[in-house]
Amino acid sequence: MRLVVNGEPHEVAAKTLADLLGELEYEGEWLATALNGELVRAAARAAVPLNEGDRVEILTPRQGG
């Protein structure tokens, strides 16, 4: 299935948001995720299905100075 992840097209096998994070090797509970502009809490990711053309944003904290 084709998705747009962080603005880039991706072809993935994932069926849920949680599956997508695993497939793309994102780990940790500190991630923030949004599906088609709507925030998705960590506890809900396994129950959130993905559909062709969905837009997913995955945000990770950064350190800097």
Kindly compute the dihedral angle of the four CA atoms of residues 9, 12, 15, 18, in this order, to the nearest 10 degrees.
Answer: -80
Q: What is the mean pLDDT of residues 14-35?
A: 93
Q: Dump pLDDT digits (tens) for 54-64.
A: 999 999 877 66
Phi then psi dihedrals of residue 42, to 5 deg: -55, -40
Q: Which pLDDT score, from 0 to 100, does residue 32 have?
A: 94
In the chain, the percentage of residues whose pLDDT exceeds 70 is 95
- pTM for the full predicted model: 0.89
Q: Which pLDDT score, from 0 to 100, does residue 27 have?
A: 83
In the chain, the percentage of residues whose pLDDT exceeds 90 is 85
Sort strands 2-5 and 8-11 into parallel, antiparallel or unpaired.
antiparallel
Tokens of 48: 């959130």
